[in-house]
Amino acid sequence: MIDADILLVEDNPTDAELTMRALKKNNLANKLHWVKDGEEALDYIFARGKYADRDPGNIPKLILLDLRMPKVDGLEVLQEIKRDETASRIPVVVLTSSKEDEDIVESYKLGVNSYVSKPVEFDEFISAVSTLGFYWMLINQPPE
């Protein structure tokens, strides 16, 4: 199993495909792993369930997290990530269609690194995701 540099947590296949396309366009998706709900995201991050054979020490360099998902929602995922000493170092960018003040405030309270509302227009969406990927994967300096 390939360890991911980017973990995409997105239940909408269309949004996931657009996100992956934008990252591939900028050569940022070579080690991307897509999970379709919050439960699968937590299993991947903490190397449990079907990901039990994954080395939990190889954490993603970035998590792109949707909020509205089945099983476990994005805020619960964020809370679990930020509660763990190792996982809390992973930059988490909420990438969601929600523009609700409550979601934004709660995300920042829980420790999100950035909150981005998904643009509706295709070109704007591609541009936003490309910019996010470029910044978090190439410019940002994470702790070792």
List pLDDT tens digits, range 1-39.
Answer: 556 799 999 999 999 999 998 888 888 878 899 999 999
CATH assignment of 6-137?
Answer: 3.40.50.2300
Distance CA 10, CA 33 (A): 11
Sequence ranges of the domains in the chain = 6-137
Cross-sheet strand order for the sheet of 62-65: 32-35, 6-9, 62-65, 92-96, 114-117
Average the pLDDT over 130-143 and give the result. 84
pLDDT band at 40 (very low <50, low <70, confident <90, very high): very high
User: What single DSSP character describes residue 25?
Assistant: H
Per the CB < 8 A criterion, the answer to whether 69 and 81 are in contact is no
Answer yes or no: is pLDDT of 126 > 80: yes
Per the CB < 8 A criterion, the answer to whether 23 and 6 are in contact is yes
Model-level pTM?
Answer: 0.92
